[in-house]
Amino acid sequence: MKKFWMVWNPSGRAPTFKHETEVQAEGEAKRLASLHRGQSFFILEAKKKAVAVDVEVIELCDGSRDSLESQLYRRTYEVPMAETC
């Protein structure tokens, strides 16, 4: 993912537009500041990102056997069988 910049106004909504260059973000900040006198517009640079990649799904036991639908799903998508309760 390429580096990007966003413009944020603490009095407004969360930024959603990604500017490809710092110069573009600065131009947008100036444009917005001229329209909203007295308000601050900050130029934010994305430096790092965090991504959680491991997710574990744990099946809870209710004392009954897996339904036929559940067994077929496990076979189709190669989901390992849970330990028996």
Q: What is the pLDDT along the chain (85 residues), one digit of tens a residue?
A: 899 999 999 999 999 999 999 999 999 999 999 999 999 999 999 999 998 888 888 777 765 666 667 766 767 776 666 555 4
Q: Is residue 66 part of a domain?
A: no
Q: Is residue 14 part of a domain?
A: yes
The predicted structure's pLDDT at residue 38: 96
The predicted structure's pLDDT at residue 63: 59
| Total tally of structural domains belonging to the chain | 1
Q: Is residue 65 part of a domain?
A: no
Q: List the domain range (segments joined by +) for residue 22.
A: 5-45
Q: Is residue 40 part of a domain?
A: yes
User: Is the overall model pTM greater than 0.85, yes or no?
Assistant: no
**Six-digit token string for 45:** 């640079």
Pairwise CA distance, residues 75 & 4, whole Å? 43
Q: Is residue 28 part of a domain?
A: yes
**Which residues, at least 6 apart from 46, have a Cβ–Cβ distance to it below 8 Å?**
3, 4, 5, 6, 18
Q: Is residue 29 part of a domain?
A: yes
Q: Is residue 27 part of a domain?
A: yes
Q: Is residue 69 part of a domain?
A: no
Report long-range pairs for 51-60 (Cβ below 8 Å, ≥24 apart).
58/82
